[in-house]
Amino acid sequence: MPGVFVHSRHNRLGQKQRFRRLGVESLEDRSLLAALDDPWEENDTLKTAAEFGRLNLPYAVESLVLADSNDWYRFTMNAKGGAIHNATLAFQHALGDLNLELFNASGIRLKTSAGVTDSERVSLSGLAAGTYYLRVFGASGATNPDYSVSIDVPRTFVDDRYEQSDTRSTARRLDTPRSPRTIPNLALADSHDWYRLTTLGAGTSSDAVAVNFEHALGNLTLELYNTSGQRIGLSDGAGNSEQISLDGLAAGSYFIHVLGAGGAKNPRYALVIDPPDPPPGSTTFDIDLNLSGLTVSQQAIFAQAAAKWETVIVGELPNATFVDAGNALVAVDDLLIDASAIAIDGVGNVLGQSAPDLVRGGSFLPIHGIMEFDTADLAVLEASGKLLAVVTHEIGHVLGFGTIWQLKGLLLGAGGTNPRFTGHQAVVAYNSIFGTAVSAVPVENTGGAGTRDSHWRETVFGNELMTGALGTATTFPLSRITVAAMADLGYKVDLSAADAYTPPGAPLQALAAGLTSSSMLLPASRIVATVSYSAAQSLGSSAASSVELVLPRMFVTSGPASSPTNLRALPLAPAFVDWLLTDWSSVLDDLVGRTF
């Protein structure tokens, strides 16, 4: 998957490439099928089953369509099923007779219901907590344009995807809403849920935050705090909702606190935000992170990385929606990322991987993406001070760096020896920083599918943030070239938010100026020149007073190679600069020890 960040070029997770490809192409596939089948397609096999998620309450989905031979659904129970728990299929038999089967996580069929009425039902009684599959199929190949599935599972208290958010210091940072937003399917499975909200304008009497819930499942209380930790709002009634007005509150950050009255818990509530209108003409770019498996300190680092990109990208994108793993429709403004700690390949090698999996039509700018970090490396990276760079790097890929280049037609020579990024603004920034006049920016040409064609070329860019290997560097600047490349993707950016960045070597003009006399050369197709000590220093080599630089004859004009030649007086062909900074940089790496 483009977006793999590794210690070494030679260890990759190439099979993950399929995730990005499916994540983009399935958008086109689903649009073609929409007139016939339902939005849950493609779910025609157990392996491609639609995900109902982890259920802690009864769950139902309506307006489903069987337009082919099979529909598969996957769900997880949190407790052992009882006599009252079952999965039910409802439909009109006259429109097409349907059957229902239940399978375990190993793909073994457990139960079948194949009657001749308007419903089918399989019992979940006695089944252990775990993952199961439902198969809906037509009797004798029948189809049906309208059916529903409902699953009655044991009620359990399992926390939501916004955890851990049990204290004000670990409050879940929400995006900066510009219009009313509802966050459904939240659960209070412990004592407290905290959220951090940022408003763009002054509050009025029509602006508020609220929680909606079933009082019978557990009474909730709502509080609002300012950044000083002072409570400025309280709602503790006895109905099915609590609400606090934002009237008179200045633009800024606030903390929303949801807690159970008398220690109560509640398996399902919704957080509702009706924010103040932003000032006319104001725009912001927001990255919302869903974090799981991370420590409090690591969560703070992830938030810091997102904040960095929010200073780089400053233009608002069209709002969008995303269907999460629990089948909830989530409003997105402007990018939503699910970030988690998982086991990948042990200490070292692949540190993290990321990609967008839902993009906007037309612009291809991402709506949602995933980031996965190796649990074996997180603590080490945090202790070394490099975790911030790794997370910032991976967010860059979710934003589209390297992952939507080909979709945007900005990658030339993919898979070859000299891939290049052709975005105009990045090329201008590159030529300005490197002192060159090339027509495209060199892209990584080594490594597996997760590295080549989706990073800046490491032998050219050195420790720049968006190269493909972490290496031994201690700083990883986000250069103006990277910021400009984001502008080429379609983002509105602030170039001044880039970090100070110095290329690993001097511009090639300085190298050419350091050439002195040549020695005799065999074979005659090459010229061997000597680089002066000053030029060698500019390349980062102080171990020797001079190094040998081999120049292919095609790039110089000279007399016979067997005669001494003053290279200082030789004009270099125009292509030489571009060539040396791309195809030949690995040769320089061997000769000098540090490359352009």
pLDDT tens profile 388-404:
998 999 999 999 999 99
Lowest mean pLDDT: which of 139-148, 444-453, 568-577? Answer: 568-577
pLDDT at 560 over 70: no
CB 430 within 8 A of CB 445: no
- Classify domain 32-152 at the CATH class level: mainly beta
pTM, full prediction: 0.50
3-class DSSP assignment, residue 486: helix
pLDDT at 121 over 90: yes
- Please choose, from the candidates 491, 484, 449, 455, the residue with its C-alpha nearest in 3D space to the C-alpha of residue 471: 455
Q: What is the C-alpha separation between 128 and 124, in angstroms, rounded? A: 9
Percent of the chain with pLDDT over 90: 44
CB 103 within 8 A of CB 133: yes
Per-residue pLDDT of 356-388, as tens digits, reads 989 998 899 999 999 988 888 888 888 888 889
Q: Quickly state the pLDDT bin for 219 (edges 50, 70, 90).
A: very high
234's enclosing H/E stretch is strand 231-235
Per-residue pLDDT of 500-511, as tens digits, reads 999 986 434 333
- Residue 534 exposed, middle or buried by CB count within 10 Å (0-12, 13-18, 19+): exposed
Residue predicted with more confidence, 458 or 564: 458
**What would the DSSP string read from start to end of 323-385?**
E-TTS-EEEESSEEEEEEEE-SSSSSSEEEEEEEEEE-TTT--EEEEEEEEEHHHHHHHHHHT
| pLDDT at position 159 | 67
Q: What is the C-alpha separation between 312 and 395, in angstroms, rounded? A: 12
Q: What is the C-alpha separation between 178 and 198, in angstroms, rounded? A: 10
CATH code that applies to domain 410-504: 3.90.132.10
| pLDDT at position 514 | 34
Percent of the chain with pLDDT over 70: 75
Per-residue pLDDT of 323-349, as tens digits, reads 877 676 777 888 999 998 888 777 766
Query: What is the mean pLDDT of the segment spanning 203-215?
Result: 94
**Rounded to the nearest 5°, which phi and psi values hold at 187?**
-140, 135
3-class DSSP assignment, residue 560: coil
Per-residue pLDDT of 273-287, as tens digits, reads 999 987 776 667 888
From-to residues of CATH 2.60.120.380 in the chain: 32-152, 177-279
3-class DSSP assignment, residue 450: coil
Fill in the amino acid letter for 574: P
| pLDDT at position 464 | 95
Which among 171-175, 196-200, 511-515 has the top mean pLDDT? 196-200
pLDDT at 543 over 70: no
Lowest mean pLDDT: which of 2-11, 135-144, 173-182? Answer: 2-11
pLDDT at 249 over 60: yes
CB 316 within 8 A of CB 332: no
Query: What is the mean pLDDT of the segment spanning 187-197?
Result: 89
| pLDDT at position 53 | 82
The mean pLDDT of the chain is: 77
Residue with tokens 């509080």, as numbered in its chain: 223
Q: Quickly state the pLDDT bin for 15 (edges 50, 70, 90).
A: very low
Residue predicted with more confidence, 18 or 138: 138
Q: What is the C-alpha separation between 151 and 534, in angstroms, rounded? A: 75
Question: Could you write out the three-class secondary structure of 384-411?
Answer: HCCHHHHHHHHHHHHHCCCCCCCCCCCE
Chain centroid offset of residue 184 CA: 22
Q: Quickly state the pLDDT bin for 28 (edges 50, 70, 90).
A: very low
pLDDT at 526 over 70: no
Residue predicted with more confidence, 481 or 266: 481
Q: What is the C-alpha separation between 96 and 117, in angstroms, rounded? A: 11
Lowest mean pLDDT: which of 29-38, 152-161, 278-287, 490-499? Answer: 29-38
Q: What is the C-alpha separation between 284 and 304, in angstroms, rounded? A: 16
For domain 177-279, the question of CATH label 3.30.260.10 is answered with no
3-class DSSP assignment, residue 416: coil
| pLDDT at position 579 | 43
| pLDDT at position 293 | 84
Residue predicted with more confidence, 545 or 379: 379
- How big is the chain, counted in residues? 596
From-to residues of CATH 3.90.132.10 in the chain: 410-504
pLDDT at 26 over 90: no
Per-residue pLDDT of 288-300, as tens digits, reads 888 888 887 888 8
pLDDT at 571 over 50: no
Q: How many CB atoms lie within 10 A of CB 573?
A: 13
